[in-house]
Amino acid sequence: MSIRTGSVMLAVFLAMQFTAGAAQTQAAEEPPRVQQELAKAAQFQSDHNLPFAIDALEKANRMEHGRCVPCLVQLADIYRESGDNMRSAKDAGILEETVTTPAKKAAAAAMEGTALMREGVARKKASLLRQAQEQFAQAEQWDPANMEDVFLDGIVLGRLGDDAQAQKEFARYAAAKGGDPIMQARARRYLADPELTRETMAPAFSIRTVQGQTLDLDKLQGRVVLLHFWATDCNDCLGELSHVRQIVEKFQGKPLVVLSIGTDENPEKWRAFIEKHDMTWPQYWDADQQMAPLFGASTLPRYFTIDARGVLRSVVVGDNADIDRRLQRLVKQAEQTPQPAPVSSAKGNHP
């Protein structure tokens, strides 16, 4: 089995990994006392002790007179993780002034733009979205070859209601050579319907199930998708499997795809279970633990309903009794639109 997730979508919702990776390399070049504080911060962050991580990073940054690149990168990331987008944007702005290469300046500008866009969306504040757009445009000037900035620029332009300009950016991104095929498919979706930039879209992904079927979210246009996260060692999950099976049977022949995503650590145990219980609908083992973090599925069982346009419509934790009604409504809407071609399938590696 395999998974591919859109790198740009991860950049929007998680971090600009290019800059973080560069900062890790530079951390080894810092003075020993700074490295010590960085190591402490990394451990604190790993333990989800963000206040202590921030204290260590601020201390290290003061040692470098406020211009410690790895400190600024981690601070921007931690503040983003904690929801303080404006502080994240501030540190990313200082980072842009501190780094010297065009590629690093572009990544820092995109980090600042991403934080401003998140805050602008959360507060529904156009002024912050315009500031974000300025940062993405600046990032494009610093590094014209980086198409991720073009995609992000298209998103924020769409959020601002400038659909015509947003479509130009998405067209550029979709036509770029060597681009991420998953995100290029998402760009084409935005190009055809720029109103989707103002919706809460489900993260783009492409997976190969244990049955050898390839499921690419943006190629499932016209179908409702139910993502079901579970594990064999989760008692609540096991108690709800019969209901999931009922949903599969109830909507057979309808424009609905049910994808169960196992989060077990042991693939043999997981596979033996689904075979023993004849779970024949699409099954995927989250081997690299990418799907669960991508959707924020930290507790189980968890269900995500995605409509035929790719919009995330609901997240349900635990009892899924209400999902039938939600799916009934979404499937009925999907049936009113032309159906896409059948989902492609191919043989794949099993766990």
Q: What confidence category does residue 30 fall into, taking pLDDT thresholds of 50, 70 and 90?
A: confident
More confident residue, 210 or 322: 210
Span 314-322, average pLDDT: 81
Local structure of 226: helix, strand or coil? strand
What integer best gives the mean pLDDT of the chain? 89
Q: Are 193 and 337 in contact (CB under 8 A)?
A: no
Percent of the chain predicted with pLDDT > 90: 79
Q: Identify the pLDDT of residue 349.
A: 36
Number of CB atoms found within 10 A of residue 50's CB: 16
* DSSP symbol at 124: T
**288 phi/psi in degrees, rounded to 5:** -95, 10
* Look-up of token digits 């596979």: 271
Q: Identify the pLDDT of residue 9.
A: 47
Extract the runs of DSSP E, i.e. beta strands, from the chain: 2-5, 205-208, 214-216, 224-230, 256-262, 283-285, 302-306, 312-317
Distance CA 336, CA 168 (A): 30
Distance CA 173, CA 156 (A): 14
Q: What digits encode the pLDDT tens for the residues 116-175?
A: 999 999 999 999 999 999 999 999 999 999 999 999 999 999 999 999 999 999 999 999
Q: What confidence category does residue 23 fall into, taking pLDDT thresholds of 50, 70 and 90?
A: low
Local structure of 256: helix, strand or coil? strand
Q: What digits encode the pLDDT tens for the residues 241-288?
A: 999 999 999 999 999 999 999 999 999 999 999 999 999 999 999 988
Q: Identify the pLDDT of residue 195.
A: 96
Does residue 29 register a pLDDT over 90? no
Q: Identify the pLDDT of residue 2.
A: 46
- Could you tell me the pTM of the whole model? 0.85
Percent of the chain predicted with pLDDT > 70: 87
Please, what are the domains in the chain? 2-156 (1.25.40.10), 205-335 (3.40.30.10)
Q: Are 258 and 281 in contact (CB under 8 A)?
A: yes
